[in-house]
């Protein structure tokens, strides 16, 4: 596991080879198919309030673990940033609720299934997403806020 401290930068080292869709985890076959585009350029995700930066390399998108490949949840977990994700990242709960403070335009559109789950999340905002379903395309750096009620796990493990 990769640990980080405040303002540190983490590199992802679990590799996804572009085109290897069959190896992807975190896809729920019982919900509307999610449309997303994996990043073609490198970008950064900053997690608030911890101010932890994760450098995401387009040639090394993580696919192991939970959430859609390249999703914010999948990226966070791959970088050692633990987040609540009770359903395992398949859009069947709302525990991975995040607020995308910057770069939402570069993320895939939320589906009706994601919106239905988000409706159950406390502290909903217009920029709210489920981290397991939100896949940035890399065209912008992302700033994500983890809601207060979901921060205990993060602070306990780091």
Residue identified by tokens 């996804």 is 16
Asked if 99 is part of the footprint of ligand FES (rule: CB under 6 A), the reply reads no
Asked if 85 is part of the footprint of ligand FES (rule: CB under 6 A), the reply reads yes
Tokens of 128: 């709210």
Cα–Cα dist 90/102, whole Å: 24
Asked if 96 is part of the footprint of ligand FES (rule: CB under 6 A), the reply reads yes
Upstream peptide bond of 158 is cis (omega within 30 degrees of 0): no
Q: Which of 45, 56, 76, 91 binds ligand FES (CB under 6 A)?
A: 91
Tokens of 120: 């159950």
> 48, 70, 52: which is closest to 151 by C-alpha?
48
Cα–Cα dist 79/84, whole Å: 15
Asked if 27 is part of the footprint of ligand FES (rule: CB under 6 A), the reply reads no
Q: In this complex, which beta carbon is closest to ligand FES, that of residue 70 or of residue 89?
A: 89
Interface stretch with ligand FES, choices 3-11, 48-56, 93-101, 143-151 (CB under 6 A): 93-101
Asked if 146 is part of the footprint of ligand FES (rule: CB under 6 A), the reply reads no
Q: In this complex, which beta carbon is closest to ligand FES, that of residue 46 or of residue 94?
A: 94
Q: Which of 99, 104, 117, 134 binds ligand FES (CB under 6 A)?
A: 117
Q: Three-state SS for 45?
A: strand
Pair 27, 34: CB distance under 8 Å: yes
Tokens of 20: 């290897």
Q: In this complex, which beta carbon is closest to ligand FES, that of residue 52 or of residue 129?
A: 129
List contacts with ligand FES (CB under 6 A).
Answer: 85-87, 89, 91-93, 95-96, 117, 130, 132
């Amino acid at each position: 596991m990769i640990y980080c401290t405040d303002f540190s930068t983490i590199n992802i080292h679990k590799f996804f080879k572009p085109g290897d869709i069959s190896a992807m985890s975190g896809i729920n076959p019982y919900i509307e198919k999610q449309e997303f585009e994996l990043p073609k350029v490198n970008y950064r995700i900053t997690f608030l309030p911890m101010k932890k930066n994760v450098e995401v390399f387009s040639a090394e998108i993580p696919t192991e673990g939970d959430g859609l490949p390249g999703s914010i949840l999948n990226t966070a977990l791959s970088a050692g940033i633990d987040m609540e994700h009770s359903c395992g990242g398949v859009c069947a709960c709302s525990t991975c609720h995040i607020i995308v403070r910057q770069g939402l335009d570069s993320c895939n559109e939320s589906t009706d299934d994601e919106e239905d789950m988000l409706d159950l999340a406390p502290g909903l905002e217009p920029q709210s997403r489920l981290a397991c379903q939100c896949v940035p395309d890399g065209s912008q750096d992302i700033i994500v806020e983890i809601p207060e009620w979901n921060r205990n796990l993060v602070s306990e493990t780091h």
